[in-house]
Chains A and B, each alone.
Chain A
Amino acid sequence: MDRRTTIKWVLAASASLPLLRPGAARAFSAPTARGYGSDPDLSRSYAAGEPWPLTLTAAQRRLAGTLSDIIIPADDRSPSASAAGVVDFIDEWLSAPYPDCQRDRGIVLGGLAWLDTEAGRRFGRDFLDLAPAAQTSLCEDICDEVRAPPALREAAHFFARYRDLTAGGFYSSPIGRQDLKYIGNVPLASFDGPPLALLKSLGLA
């Protein structure tokens, strides 16, 4: 199927999909948990599910993991997003009672449902059951909000938001910090600043 045909299909499919319309967030029941309050215990560690219950279904979590790993796959420096705990992070985020999280809940759960529906329309299967090339071809159509055709704008908006959450979850983890070779947050006897050779190479010394 060439790209032009794909887009026609997608246009037709989008026209009948209510999940990404304004107000779609209401299609997904909001968690009723409370936030951690204005004076939480800062001294303890919180695992996902401790501040408030996780709410994604097993199927949603599987799909979330697959999509996260398409965005951040394993490579020779670090493992994939799901291996770094990103699904737990996203579940925690979408299950949180705060306004930004609740807005994202509608966008992401709507987007995940759209992925399956769209995979069905294009390939007759759920997204998870697609071959990697087919998964990629679908992501390719929605990976950039600027380039996406109008009918796919909302799906592209979902993808952008989901990529942000995946990246945030990955890079804020110990695995992600190592991937970026972050070496701070350690006590130093003195702060000596950047090495002279580096400054010279940049024309700064």
Chain B
Amino acid sequence: MPFVTADTQQSDYDVIVVGSGAGGGQSAYTLCMDGAKVLMLEAGRNYSHTESSMFRTPDVAPLRGASTPDKPFGFFDATVDGGWSVPGEPYVRASEEDAGRFEWWRARMLGGRTNHWGRISLRNGPYDFKPYSRDGLGFDWPIGYEDVAPYYDKVEMLVGVYGSNEGLENTPNSPARCLLPPPTPLVSDRLIAQRAKRLGIPAIPGHRAVLTRALDYKRIPARLHPGNARAQKILAEDMRARTPCLWATPCGYGCAIRANYQSITVHLPPALKTGNLDIITDAMVHEVTLGRNGRANGVNFIDRLSGQEKHSAARVVILAASACESARILLNSKSAQHPDGLGNSSGKVGRYLMDTVGSSVSGQIPLLENLPPLNEDGADGHALYVPWWQYPEQRAGKLGFARGYHIEFGGGKRMPGAGTGAGLEWLTGGGYGKKFKEDVRRYYGSFVRFDGRGEMIPNEQSYCEIDPGIKDKWAIPVLRFHWQWSEHEWRQAVHMQSTFAAIIDAMGGKTRHPVKTDGAEAIAPGGSIIHEVGGAIMGSDPATSVTNRWGQTWDVDNLFINDGAVFASNADKNPTLTIMALAWRASDHILERLRRKEL
């Protein structure tokens, strides 16, 4: 039985994996396919992709599917028991001021936030692992692009990522036959690309974890698992069970046909098929336990169904609970040996939290008015994007900020919803009646939106710690967040605003709101982009980092961090693909050391 309970679990696991999202899912997959016995602990409930809301329409949902505090991304969003607030599980913000605000997104469900993420899968480039060497800010990673590249290859082949190779600076190509073909762009995508190009801004095919065609089940399994016939067979069968995209319904609803990446549709099924994976859901891990030898011997968790404290044991413990939750578990794992929490001899656990710099501009484009009926669902957006293109200007010191951003954009005649036809006064002058209906038809599909996604540089003022007083409903001490942006991020956000306005202008359109020129107003609050990483950064010096190049904590030999917590920088590239690549790499390392009986 792969789904077990505290009472039916085994006593001899090789590895405990805390968390079932991108990092946990990849870790379990890699370990199980190579024969390790794994117990996965997930804080939320069991969840299946068959619960997806594919093809559901707003008229059958409460409030026509609009977002609410219960479902922040709308009623049909796949997220269960999640959001920036989770009932009974508070956190503390040290500041309520906008500039110091950090909001913590969690998803308490099997698969975690991989069930609703944007599926944007960008590789870090060579610069992104050595930012300090380039501009003297932040930290270098103890690894380089060449260390991670083979794992990017593997992850892309396993999960299925569409994209193209353009050979642009610090925007790596994938090897031949790694990527799936990108989807054809919409009218709005093409217009944006055409006009952006006139400004010297390149729009190229996006990279997303969506199957634009079936995975090559005859070739890929042998590439991913050489010499492992059983793994190859399991993976080939599972790849055949995944259906390519059928070009409808938002990915965030979850995918019943398994066309996009969710840990529950890609990582967990083959891992379970090996027979090597047990999963306990509703298991709220709060502490790593140590044996007399000072090594980790398991974890303590609250069984959310009974409220009782339980223990699981294994030779190795991997935390992949998400950057902040993994930091919280470490900080709450206090003992006489480790009075400030586990892995924290450097004092760096919880430090250097980073999110992505976000800023948005929307506009209306007369050229896109009154287009004929078009099915513009496509692969759910991001057919094209703009990678950071101003490396030369930045090197020349012309920009006033140190790091880059990429641009996500979109438009089209998407499914009308509770917001359709709203807020048109700036175009209609407040019309109503038959004229209003004509106006809504005219403007439907003529809007475009630009979202900047930029690199935040780690700083000493952005961190989490354990709040001295407040506990959640399980009596687990909660996190308190401190947050501060620097001028680099603020200026970058302002640059985004003026760039997006320039593109809209070049399209003959107008922006919905005046462009923001104050960085503090232009930037989205910390945590709102849900790309938080750091909190247990990797490094080459135990005094200034929490883990080594393998995500192995300096202080405890058999304790690993396989999620975004180990990021030493947060490139503009969305973190999920890198989380998976690092988790695969670390898991290979763990397997090797298990074989050598070192763990």
- Tell me the A residues contacting B by CB distance below 8 Å: 35-40, 42-43, 45-46, 50-51, 70-73, 75, 77-78, 85, 89, 92-93, 96, 98-101, 136, 139, 143-147, 156, 159-160, 163-164, 167-174, 176-177, 179-194, 198-199, 202-204
A92 and B58 CA atoms in complex are apart in Å by: 14
Q: Please name all residues of chain A whose beta carbon is closer than 8 Å to the beta carbon of B371 when the two chains form the complex.
A: 198
Q: Please name all residues of chain B whose beta carbon is closer than 8 Å to the beta carbon of A169 when the two chains form the complex.
A: 64, 418
| CB of A138 to closest CB in B, whole Å | 12
| CB of A72 to closest CB in B, whole Å | 6
Can you list 24 A-B contacts with CB-CB less than 8 angstroms, sorted by A residue number? A38-B71, A38-B82, A45-B60, A46-B60, A72-B436, A75-B437, A98-B63, A98-B68, A145-B430, A146-B430, A164-B419, A167-B422, A168-B66, A168-B420, A168-B422, A171-B417, A171-B440, A177-B57, A180-B420, A185-B57, A194-B186, A199-B190, A204-B187, A204-B194
Contact among B56, B374, B421, B441 with A170 in the assembled complex (CB-CB below 8 Å)? B421
Q: Please name all residues of chain B whose beta carbon is closer than 8 Å to the beta carbon of A98 when the two chains form the complex.
A: 63, 68-70
Q: Which residues of B (412-461) have their CB < 8 Å from a CB of A?
A: 413-425, 429-434, 436-437, 440-441, 444
| CB of A53 to closest CB in B, whole Å | 13
Q: Are B416 and A176 in contact (CB under 8 A)?
A: yes
Known: A89-B64, A181-B373, A193-B186. A188 touches B81 (CB 8 A): no
Q: Are A204 and B433 in contact (CB under 8 A)?
A: no
For B65, give the chain A residue with the smallest CB separation.
Answer: A172
| CB of B85 to closest CB in A, whole Å | 9
| CB of A157 to closest CB in B, whole Å | 11
Q: Are B433 and A70 in contact (CB under 8 A)?
A: yes
A92 and B437 CA atoms in complex are apart in Å by: 23
For B53, give the chain A residue with the smallest CB separation.
Answer: A42
Residue B95 at the chain A interface, CB threshold 8 Å? no
The interface centre, meaning the residue of A38, A46, A171 with most chain B CB atoms within 10 A of its CB, is A38
Contact among A42, A101, A183, A185 with B63 in the assembled complex (CB-CB below 8 Å)? A101
Q: Please name all residues of chain B whose beta carbon is closer than 8 Å to the beta carbon of A156 when the two chains form the complex.
A: 430
Which of B114-122, B243-251, B337-345 is near enough to bind chain A?
Answer: B243-251
For B373, give the chain A residue with the smallest CB separation.
Answer: A181
Q: Are B417 and A172 in contact (CB under 8 A)?
A: yes
Beyond A144-B429, A180-B413, 17 extra complex contacts between A and B, CB < 8 Å: A35-B68, A36-B75, A38-B86, A39-B80, A40-B75, A51-B63, A71-B436, A96-B63, A139-B432, A144-B430, A181-B373, A187-B248, A190-B247, A193-B186, A194-B187, A202-B191, A204-B194
A202 and B366 CA atoms in complex are apart in Å by: 11
Q: Please name all residues of chain B whose beta carbon is closer than 8 Å to the beta carbon of A100 when the two chains form the complex.
A: 68
Q: Are A71 and B69 in contact (CB under 8 A)?
A: no
Q: Please name all residues of chain B whose beta carbon is closer than 8 Å to the beta carbon of A193 when the two chains form the complex.
A: 183-186, 378
Residue B175 at the chain A interface, CB threshold 8 Å? no
Q: Are A172 and B248 in contact (CB under 8 A)?
A: no
A198 and B441 CA atoms in complex are apart in Å by: 18
Q: Which residues of B (227-260) have their CB < 8 Å from a CB of A?
A: 245-249
The interface centre, meaning the residue of B57, B86, B194, B423 with most chain A CB atoms within 10 A of its CB, is B57
A51 and B245 CA atoms in complex are apart in Å by: 33
- Tell me the B residues contacting A by CB distance below 8 Å: 45, 51, 53, 55-66, 68-71, 75-76, 80-83, 86-87, 183-187, 190-191, 194, 245-249, 367, 371-379, 413-425, 429-434, 436-437, 440-441, 444
Known: A38-B71, A167-B440, A180-B440. A198 touches B372 (CB 8 A): yes
Q: Are A168 and B190 in contact (CB under 8 A)?
A: no
Q: Which 10 A-B pairs have the closest CB atoms?
A: A144-B430, A167-B421, A193-B184, A45-B60, A164-B422, A171-B420, A187-B246, A181-B373, A191-B247, A184-B377
| CB of A193 to closest CB in B, whole Å | 3
Q: Please name all residues of chain A whose beta carbon is closer than 8 Å to the beta carbon of B372 when the two chains form the complex.
A: 198
Q: Please name all residues of chain B whose beta carbon is closer than 8 Å to the beta carbon of A173 when the two chains form the complex.
A: 59
Q: Are B248 and A184 in contact (CB under 8 A)?
A: yes
The interface centre, meaning the residue of B62, B367, B422, B425 with most chain A CB atoms within 10 A of its CB, is B62
A182 and B248 CA atoms in complex are apart in Å by: 12
Q: Are B374 and A185 in contact (CB under 8 A)?
A: no
Q: Are A43 and B433 in contact (CB under 8 A)?
A: no
Q: Are B437 and A185 in contact (CB under 8 A)?
A: no
A172 and B63 CA atoms in complex are apart in Å by: 10
Q: Are A73 and B51 in contact (CB under 8 A)?
A: no
| CB of A38 to closest CB in B, whole Å | 5
Contact among A136, A177, A179, A198 with B437 in the assembled complex (CB-CB below 8 Å)? A179
A189 and B247 CA atoms in complex are apart in Å by: 8
Q: Are A177 and B415 in contact (CB under 8 A)?
A: yes
Known: A180-B440, A202-B187. A147 touches B430 (CB 8 A): yes
Q: Please name all residues of chain B whose beta carbon is closer than 8 Å to the beta carbon of A164 when the two chains form the complex.
A: 419, 421-423
Q: Please name all residues of chain A whose beta carbon is closer than 8 Å to the beta carbon of B373 when the two chains form the complex.
A: 181-183
Q: Please name all residues of chain A whose beta carbon is closer than 8 Å to the beta carbon of B53 when the two chains form the complex.
A: 42-43
A43 and B78 CA atoms in complex are apart in Å by: 12
Q: Please name all residues of chain A whose beta carbon is closer than 8 Å to the beta carbon of B69 when the two chains form the complex.
A: 35, 98-99
Q: Are B249 and A194 in contact (CB under 8 A)?
A: no
A169 and B376 CA atoms in complex are apart in Å by: 22
| CB of A33 to closest CB in B, whole Å | 11
A70 and B433 CA atoms in complex are apart in Å by: 6
| CB of B508 to closest CB in A, whole Å | 11
Q: Are B425 and A183 in contact (CB under 8 A)?
A: no
Known: A39-B45, A40-B75, A172-B64. A182 touches B51 (CB 8 A): no
Known: A160-B430, A184-B415, A188-B246. A144 touches B425 (CB 8 A): yes
Contact among B64, B191, B437 with A168 in the assembled complex (CB-CB below 8 Å)? B64
For B429, give the chain A residue with the smallest CB separation.
Answer: A144
